[in-house]
């Protein structure tokens, strides 16, 4: 038997934390001791791991003694506060919040795109994971960029409520029941009703009229691909429980045909080509749910410019973040930790 590793999952009862726990078990990660950490109402809850109940402990600065890898799946505030404490205790942190993504001393990783950057963890002991929309974008763009250099991307995302968390999932469920029953729908999580609606706002607006996530997608993509690519984004919240979609308009430096693009996507790690319009085959969030791969289809030329493509992408947003975190941990123990 190989070495076993002590793991902490911070935010273990949230949507991403729960999925991380599931992925650790599914992928048979060599876990020795596992600690589930949380705050507020989650303290004292029981999470099952490999058929055994484990109680959620309170997250604190002393929570990381003996921990090798800490997987953070909470908010930016807890990551900013407790990652340094985990690192000081000897753990490597893999963080899915936005706290460390643009820190120049912290690598921003997608396992299928820039895995060699894992070594950069040594700077601050932290590895950051981009948001789910960026994971979809860079995984799809990477094979095209390597072949013909991507110059510009116009991306519109259609994001499920699971990205906001369990309260948003419950709000959509209750609103749907209320409206179908002839009752008015109340909203607390979002600024407007989400059931049978679309909201062109996924977080706070900045002074330029873009939301924070729309701006982050540009910065995160440039950092991950180490390239200057013009990216303009519109992020929309839609009444879907799980799974994000995106419409991509890509301009490349060199001409690429639809057939060539399909071949590149079909052979790219992290992607699954789903593209046969005659048979009604194209990416759907319902089909991508529970899948690790990014589904890519409806590939067609943009006939308004010389070198352009349009694509449609679907993926399980929660699964993408969680499996990315676990795969990065796998790379760490295989190549970097002893």
- pLDDT for res 41: 84
pLDDT (tens digit per residue) in 259-273 = 999 999 999 999 999
Q: Does residue 1 register a pLDDT over 80?
A: no
3-state secondary structure of 328: helix
Mean pLDDT of 308-318: 98
The predicted-structure confidence for 189-209, as pLDDT tens digits, reads as follows: 999 999 999 999 999 999 999
CA distance 281 to 167: 33
Contacts of 314 (CB under 8 A, 6+ apart): 243, 244, 245, 246, 283, 284, 285, 287, 288, 294, 295
Half-sphere exposure of 20 (CA within 13 A, CB side): 35
Contact present, 292 and 322 (Cβ < 8 Å): no
**Host domain of residue 119:** 5-130+321-335
Domain match, 60 and 157 both: no
Residue 43 shares a structural domain with residue 177 = no
**330 and 181 part of one domain:** no
Residue 61's CATH number: 3.40.50.720
d(CA 38, CA 13): 8
- 301 in the same domain as 197: yes
Residue 280 CB contacts under 8 Å (≥ 6 apart), including other chains: none
Span 303-319, average pLDDT: 97
Residues 15, 156: one domain? no
Kindly report, residue by residue over 141-192, the tens digit of the pLDDT. Answer: 999 999 999 999 999 999 999 999 999 999 999 999 999 999 999 999 999 9
Residue 245 predicted with pLDDT over 80: yes
**Are 169 and 290 in a shared domain?**
yes
Main-chain dihedrals φ then ψ at residue 42, nearest 5 degrees: -75, -20
Mean pLDDT of 222-235: 96
Give the number of residues written for the chain.
Answer: 338
What's the chain's average pLDDT? 96
User: What are the phi and psi torsion angles at 182 (to 5°)?
Assistant: 80, 15
205, 309: one domain:
yes
| Same-domain check for residues 64 and 176 | no
Phi-psi region of 11 (alpha: psi -120 to 50; beta: other; left: phi over 0): left
Which 3 state secondary structure label does DSSP give 155? strand
* 182 phi-psi bin (left φ>0, alpha ψ -120 to 50, beta other): left
In this predicted model, what pLDDT tens digit does every residue of 64-79 receive, in sequence order?
Answer: 999 999 999 999 999 9
User: How far apart (Å, rounded) are the C-alpha atoms in residues 219 and 9?
Assistant: 27
Judged by DSSP in three states, 49 sits in strand
Instruction: Tell me if residue 214 falls in helix, strand or coil.
Output: helix
Q: 40: alpha, beta or left, given left = phi > 0 and alpha = psi -120 to 50? A: left
Residues 18, 87: one domain?
yes
Relative to beta strand 308-315, strand 294-301 is antiparallel
CA-atom Rg of the chain in angstroms: 20
The pLDDT score that the predictor gives to residue 40 is 84
- For residues 284 and 240, state if they share a domain: yes
Domain shared by 148 and 296, yes or no: yes
Could you tell me if 99 and 209 lie in one domain? Answer: no
Number of domains in the chain: 2
pLDDT > 70? residue 17: yes
CB contact set of 40 (below 8 Å; sequence gap of 6+): none
Cα angle at 203 between 291 and 96, to 5 degrees? 45
The residues, any chain, with a CB within 8 Å of residue 182's CB and separated by 6 or more, are none
Q: What are phi and psi of 127, to 5 degrees?
A: -120, 130
The span from the CA of 170 to the CA of 91, in Å, is: 34
* pLDDT for res 2: 83
1: its two tokens = 């038997």
Q: Residue 147 belongs to a domain with what CATH number?
A: 3.30.360.10
The tens digit of pLDDT for each residue in 38-94 reads 988 899 999 999 999 999 999 999 999 999 999 999 999 999 999 999 999 999 999
């Amino acid at each position: 038997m190989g070495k076993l590793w002590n793991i902490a999952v911070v935010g273990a009862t949230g949507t991403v934390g729960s999925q991380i726990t599931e992925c650790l078990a599914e992928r048979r990660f060599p876990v020795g001791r596992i600690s589930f950490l949380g705050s507020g109402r989650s303290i004292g809850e029981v999470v099952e791991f490999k058929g055994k109940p484990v109680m959620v402990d309170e997250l604190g600065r002393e929570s990381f003694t003996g921990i090798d890898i800490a997987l953070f799946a909470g908010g930016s505030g807890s990551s900013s506060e407790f990652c340094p404490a985990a690192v000081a205790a000897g753990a490597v942190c893999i963080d899915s919040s936005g706290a460390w993504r643009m820190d120049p001393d912290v690598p921003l990783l997608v396992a299928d795109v820039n895995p060699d950057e894992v070594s950069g963890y040594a700077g601050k002991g932290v590895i950051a994971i981009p948001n789910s929309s960026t994971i979809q974008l860079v995984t799809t763009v990477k094979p095209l960029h390597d072949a013909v250099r991507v110059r510009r991307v116009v991306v519109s995302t259609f994001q499920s409520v699971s990205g906001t968390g369990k309260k948003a999932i419950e709000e959509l469920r209750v609103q749907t029941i209320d409206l179908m029953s002839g009752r008015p729908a109340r909203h607390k999580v979002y600024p407007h009703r989400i059931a049978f609606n679309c909201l062109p706002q996924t977080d706070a607006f900045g002074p330029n009229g873009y939301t924070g996530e729309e701006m982050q997608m540009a910065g995160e993509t440039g950092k991950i691909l180490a390239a200057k690519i013009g990216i303009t984004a519109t992020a929309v919240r839609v009444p879907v429980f799980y799974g994000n979609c995106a419409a991509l308009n890509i301009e490349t430096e060199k001409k690429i045909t639809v057939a060539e693009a399909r071949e590149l996507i079909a052979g790219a790690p992290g992607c699954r080509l789903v593209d046969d319009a005659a048979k009604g085959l194209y990416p759907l969030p319902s089909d991508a749910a529970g899948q690790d791969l990014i589904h890519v289809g409806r590939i067609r030329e943009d006939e308004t410019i010389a070198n352009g493509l349009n694509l449609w992408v679907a993926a399980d947003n929660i699964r993408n973040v969680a499996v990315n975190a676990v795969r990065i941990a796998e790379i760490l123990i295989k190549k970097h930790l002893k």
